[in-house]
Chains A and B, each alone.
Chain A
Amino acid sequence: MAQIEIKNLFKIFGTNPTAGLDLVRAGKTKEEIHEQTGLTVGVQDASFTVNSGEIFVVMGLSGSGKSTLVRMLNRLIDPTSGAVIVDGDNVMEMNKEQLVAFRRNKTSMVFQSFALMPHQTVLNNVAFGLELAGVDKTQRYERSMDALKQVGLDGWEKSYPKELSGGMQQRVGLARGLAVDPDIMLMDEAFSALDPLIRTEMQDELLKLQDRHERTIVFISHDLDEALRIGDRIAVMEGGRVVQVGTPEEILQNPADDYVRAFFRGVDPTGVIAAGDIARDSQPTVIWHTPQGSPRATLEMLNNRDMEFAYVLDSERRYYGIVSTDSLRSAIEQGATKIDDAFIKEAKTAKVDDSMQDFLPEVASHAWPIPVVDENNIYQGVVSKNLFLRTLHRAEENAHFAE
C-alpha cells in the first residue's frame, strides 16, 4: 500500500522560481537555466511512491537533490510545484497548524549531524518531540526511556550529548525519532557521519527495529553498500532527477542509464542478486504419488526428453527431492517402486532470498541445477551453472560498459 506519493515535484532555488519552472518544462537543462537566470534547479520532476512498511533509499551523489527531496516531504523546504501525498492528504495544501500537527504525529527525522540539543540531557533530547506536542512529563519520560531502551542506551539518560561518542549520539537521534512513534521516519544521511564499523552496526540496528515494528522509512544515502544493505527499494537521483526506482536487484540487473551503471560499478553482484531473481523453471518436474511419479515412468520421461535430472514436487508444488537418470536406474535395479528411493541424498535447496554468494558452493560442486524454494518450500525453479555464469557475466558487462 502506498503511504507516500510524490507527484511531479520540483524545487527551484532563487528569487523568481516560477520563471525557472517554465524553463525546466520547456526542456532546458539545469546548467542552461543557471546560466540564463541564476536559478538553481534542486529537484526536477520527481515522482515515485513509497509503500507503507518499506525502507525506501534515495541514493545519489552530493548535489543530486536527495537532501532537498527528503526535506520537501515534511516541507522543511517548500516545493516550487508538485504534490506530496501522505495517507491521502496533500502536504502541500496544509496550513501552518496542519503542518505542525503533521510533523508532530506522522513523521520524524534523523539527521546526518545528529542535531541534538547540546543544552539538554539525553532523556530531554529524546523527549523533545513529545515535549513540543505537549505530552505531559511522566508519559513523555516513560516513552522516551522506552525509546532509549530500544536503541540500547538505557542508563545514559542523564548524560549530555557531548559526553557520548558519535555512534551513541546518533542512537539518541534515532531514539528521538522513535519516541514520537511516527508512521514515517525520514533519515537524512543518518549514518554517513559515522565510521564504517559503527555504520554497519547502526544499519543492523535499524533493520532490527524494523523487524520489531514496521515503519515507512525514507532513507537518504550516498553510500551504495548502505542502500543495497537496507533498502527494500532504491531511487537513484542524478542532477535533481530521479533516474531509476526499483529493488536493488532490479537496478543492478537492469540499470536505466550509464549514470546508474557507473554508480553500481564495482559492486559484487553475487552479494546482491538473490536466487529468486534468477531462478528459471527450465527443468522437468514430476509430481509424486501420480503414475508419472513412479521411478520407471520418470526415467522414461527423462530418456525421451534427453534430460538428466527431474525435480520431485507434490500437487501444490512443494519440493521433495531430485532424481537423476543414474539414481533412478540403480533404484529400479534394486527393486524400488517409490521415487523417494531414488532421491539424490546430497541435494540441497537454495532459498529465494539467498544471494548468489550463499549458494555458489552448491552450484559449483554438483552437476545438477540447484532448486530454489520459497519460505513455504514451494518450488520456484532452478539455477544452473550456465545461468549462474551468465548472470555474473551480464553484471560484469554492465560495469565495464560504464567505464
Chain B
Amino acid sequence: MFSFEEKVIPLDTWITNFIDWLVEGYRWFFQILKWPVEVTLTGIQQGITALPPLLVIAVLGIVAWRVSGIKLGVFTVVTLIFIGLLGLWEDTMITLAMVLCSVVFCTLAGIPLGILAGRSDRFEMALRPMLDAMQTTPAFVYLVPIVMLFSIGNVAGVLATIVFALPPIIRLTSLGIRQVHPELVEAALAFGATNWQVLAKVQIPLALPTIMAGLNQTIMMALSMVVIASLIGAGGLGAPVVLGLNTLDIGLATIGGLSIVLIAIVLDRITQSMGTTKKQN
C-alpha cells in the first residue's frame, strides 16, 4: 500500500462524480445564480457599446482628470484613442463591461464579508483558507466545472473572474477595519455608540483608504483574468490574444495584450488616486 505504485484514494473519480451529480440534479440552481450576473452584465455591456466611442473617451478622460489631474486625463484620452485606432474598440468595451460587472459583484459581496472578517477573529479564520484557495487554485481547474454548471460565454467568464478577483477586497476591507485604532472604537462606545454607529461613523470611514486599495487590487485581478475567461468563450480583449495564440498570429496577440495592459494602467491610476484623495480629507 505504501509503495505508492497504485492509486489508493480515488479522489479524482469522487470529484468527477460529484460534479456530474451537481450538473444533473442542480443545474437549475446554478442557472438561477447566474441570472443576476447575466442581467447586470448585459445591461452594462449594452449601455457602454451603445454610446458613441468619443463620448466614452470624454467621460473617462474627465473622470481621470477630476480624481487625479490633467496628466492622467490626457493619458487616458490618448490611450483610448490609440486602442480605438488599433481596431479593438468593441473588444475593449466588452472587457470594460465584464470587469465592471465583476467588480460590482465583488464589492457587493466583498465589503460586507470583509467587515465581518474585520470584526470577528473566528470568521476571519474560517474565511482565510477559502480566500487562499480562490487566489491560488489555477483558473484552469475551475473553468471546467464553471462551464458545466453555467455553460460558456461572457457570463461564465465573469463568474470565473469573480472567483479570482474577490479575495483582495475582502482581505483589505478586513485589514482596514482591523487597523482602526481600538481606542477610537472604545471612545465611540464610551459615548454611547451602537454597533452600527461604530461601524458607520468610525470603522468604515477610517478604513476607506484601505478598502479603496482593495478595490484597486480587485480591478487589477479582474483584468488579469480577461485572457483566461476567453478560453471559455468570453469575448473582449482576451479573444484576439487567444485567437492569436491558436493561429500563431503574434501581431494580433500582441495588440490584444498591449490593450489589456494600457486599460489596466488607466484603471489602476484612476482608482489609486480615488483612494488617496479620500485619505487626504
Choose one: B191, B192, B206; the contact of A119 (CB below 8 Å): B206
Q: Please tell me if the beta carbons of B187 and A111 are within 8 angstroms of each other in the complex.
A: yes
Write out the residue numbers on chain B whose beta carbons fall within 8 Å of the beta carbon of A116: 187
Q: Please tell me if the beta carbons of A109 and B191 are within 8 angstroms of each other in the complex.
A: yes
Q: Is B202 an interface residue (CB 8 A)?
A: yes
Q: Please tell me if the beta carbons of B206 and A100 are within 8 angstroms of each other in the complex.
A: no
Query: Which residues of B from 149 to 196 have beta carbons under 8 Å from A?
Result: 181, 183-184, 186-194
Q: Is A384 an interface residue (CB 8 A)?
A: no
Q: Is A80 an interface residue (CB 8 A)?
A: no
Q: Is B205 an interface residue (CB 8 A)?
A: yes
- Chain A interface category by residue count: 20 to 34
C-alpha gap A186/B189 in the complex (Å): 13
Least CB separation from B187: chain A residue: A115
Write out the residue numbers on chain A whose beta carbons fall within 8 Å of the beta carbon of B189: 76, 103
Write out the residue numbers on chain A whose beta carbons fall within 8 Å of the beta carbon of B206: 117-119
Chain B min CB distance to A23 (Å): 28
Given A117-B202, A119-B281; A108-B191 close (CB under 8 Å): yes
Q: Please tell me if the beta carbons of B192 and A128 are within 8 angstroms of each other in the complex.
A: no
Contact string, A101-112, partner B, CB cutoff 8 A, digits 1/0?
111110111010
SS class of chain B's interface: helix, strand, loop or mixed? helix
Number of A-B contacts (CB under 8 A): 57
Given A115-B181, A117-B184, A132-B201; A108-B190 close (CB under 8 Å): yes
Given A118-B206, A119-B281, A132-B201; A104-B191 close (CB under 8 Å): yes
Given A119-B206, A119-B281, A132-B201; A113-B192 close (CB under 8 Å): no
Least CB separation from A103: chain B residue: B192
Least CB separation from A124: chain B residue: B201
Given A115-B186, A132-B197; A100-B202 close (CB under 8 Å): no
Q: Please tell me if the beta carbons of B188 and A132 are within 8 angstroms of each other in the complex.
A: yes
- Chain B interface category by residue count: 10 to 19
Given A119-B206, A132-B197; A109-B184 close (CB under 8 Å): no
Write out the residue numbers on chain A whose beta carbons fall within 8 Å of the beta carbon of B194: 100
Write out the residue numbers on chain A whose beta carbons fall within 8 Å of the beta carbon of B191: 103-104, 108-109, 128-129, 132, 176, 180
Q: Is A74 an interface residue (CB 8 A)?
A: yes
Q: Please tell me if the beta carbons of B187 and A132 are within 8 angstroms of each other in the complex.
A: no
Q: Is A378 an interface residue (CB 8 A)?
A: no
Chain B min CB distance to A187 (Å): 11
Least CB separation from A112: chain B residue: B183
Q: Please tell me if the beta carbons of A109 and B197 are within 8 angstroms of each other in the complex.
A: no
Write out the residue numbers on chain B whose beta carbons fall within 8 Å of the beta carbon of A105: 192
Q: Is A243 an interface residue (CB 8 A)?
A: no
Choose one: B184, B186, B192; the contact of A132 (CB below 8 Å): B192
C-alpha gap A107/B190 in the complex (Å): 8
C-alpha gap A176/B184 in the complex (Å): 13
Q: Is A133 an interface residue (CB 8 A)?
A: yes
Given A115-B181, A118-B206; A109-B188 close (CB under 8 Å): no
Chain A min CB distance to B73 (Å): 28
Q: Please tell me if the beta carbons of B190 and A74 are within 8 angstroms of each other in the complex.
A: yes
C-alpha gap A133/B189 in the complex (Å): 12
Write out the residue numbers on chain A whose beta carbons fall within 8 Å of the beta carbon of B187: 109, 111, 115-116
C-alpha gap A132/B196 in the complex (Å): 11
16 A-B pairs within 8 Å (CB atoms) are namely A76-B186, A76-B189, A76-B190, A100-B193, A103-B189, A103-B191, A103-B192, A109-B187, A109-B191, A113-B181, A115-B186, A119-B206, A132-B188, A132-B192, A132-B193, A132-B197
7 A-B pairs with the lowest CB-CB distances in the bound complex, closest first: A104-B192, A103-B192, A115-B187, A129-B191, A109-B190, A115-B183, A100-B192
Having A103-B192, A105-B192, A108-B190, one finds 15 other A-B pairs with CB under 8 Å, namely A100-B194, A101-B192, A104-B191, A109-B191, A111-B187, A115-B181, A115-B184, A115-B187, A117-B201, A117-B206, A119-B205, A119-B206, A132-B188, A132-B192, A180-B191
